[in-house]
Structures are given as C-alpha cells and as structure tokens.
Amino acid sequence: MTQATNQLPAHYDLVIFDWDGTLMDSVPKILACVKSLSLEYDLDVPTDDAIRSIIGYSLEEALTRLFGEQVKGDIPLFVEGYRRHYVELDSTPSPIFEGVESLLEALSAQGYKLAVATGKGREGLNRLLAESELGGYFVASRCADEALSKPNPLMLEQLLNELDVPVSRALMVGDALMDLEMANNIGMDAVGVSYGAFTIAQLKTASPLAIIDHPLELMKVITRAEVA
C-alpha cells in the first residue's frame, strides 16, 4: 500500500466504490470487447494503453474519446455493438477480485454504508450485481446513464443527497484517474487501487489519500482514519 502524506479525517460513514477494475476484474474483458468491436466495424484497433485510459468514462464518452471522427454521428450504433460483444459474444472471464466480498462484509458489519458509482449503465450494473451476488451489500448506486460522465461529480452529489451523508464523511475508492478526479471535484477523500486499469504513477497525479494493492488493504486505511 502506498500511503500519502495527507492527514486522514476522523471518520467515514459512507464508502463509494467504482465497479470495473475496482471490485470486478473486468479490464481484460473490456480490452477484448473494444478490439472485437473495432474489427467488426473496421475501426482502427486501439492499443491496450489507449483502452485502459478510457475505462471509467460513460460508454458514449469512452467510445468518442477512443475513435473520434470514426464514430461521429453513429455513437448509438457502436454503443449497442459494444454491449452485444460484452453481454453475448465475448467469453473473457471477469471475476470479482479476491478479497472484495470479505471487504464488503467487514465494512457492512462495522456499520458503514456502501455504494457504487460506475461508468456502467444501469442495466449492466444491475445484471452484474445479481450475477456476483454482491448487490445486498450496497444501499445505493449511480450509473453513467443516470448522471454526467466521470469526472463530473454529479453521481457523487446524488449519492450524498440520497443517503444524507456530508461529503466530509464519505470516501471514494477507484482504479481510474477519473474516479479520483471526480472525488477531487467535489472535495471528497479518495483511495486509488493499483490492480485495475491505471498505474500507480497515473493515480498519484490526483493525490489520493492512499493507493492500495489489494482490496482488504482498504481496512487499514479506514482503521487509521478511525484512530487519527
């Protein structure tokens, strides 16, 4: 775990998680689906680094950033094409990261409210919450088709309002730079994870409180906050 020098606050009531690359090891599947979409529609095939750089944005924003003029005016077509590859055609496994369920169970047992803020659409998140059997741990969630795309902080604002939690008592956890930037844009503390789409060096540019190398390391961050 990489610790930052920022002094941690005394307490959190709410922990908000990104989904892809933070709770679910879905980055390889996303890479495969984007490349398959590129080949199907004769688009320039992006590099792995280019695809990783857009993980966390809404699907419309991600495809626009990746393909630019190649998809201009036809975004709905490519969005549906990507979803078809992700849900129906691609068989790349996307398991929940080891330690995630134990982390969620421990946080819930200690009374923390848990939520999800994701670049996925509502239909996709609901499907994965059910398939992973993690849905019962979360009291609320926001998706990219219910708010503006990250790093705009609207989905965080909506979660705070819904759960009646002040920003000073909430923590954002994510693997993507835009997760951390989204938290910065609303003045929320954030923790980066090093095992997802973005490198430690990239995450450090957003000055998170810490960068963890395993989901259960988040408990150490929160424990330090409780005794600070």
Active centre residues (catalytic): 18, 20
Q: Is 16 helix (H, G, I), strand (E, B) or coil?
A: strand
Q: Is 157 helix (H, G, I), strand (E, B) or coil?
A: helix
Strand 14-17 and strand 113-117: pairing? parallel
In the sheet with 14-17, reading across from the earlier edge strand, the strands are 2-3, 210-212, 189-193, 170-174, 14-17, 113-117, 140-142
Of the candidates 172, 125, 173, 175, which has an alpha carbon nearest to the alpha carbon of residue 146?
125
Crossing angle of helices 75-84/27-40, nearest 10°?
A: 120
Contact yes or no for 23/100 (Cβ under 8 A): yes
Residue 117 has phi, psi (to 5 degrees) of -130, 110
> Where does the chain have alpha helices with state H?
27-40, 48-52, 59-67, 75-84, 100-109, 122-132, 154-163, 177-186, 200-204, 218-227
Counted residue by residue, the chain has a size of 228
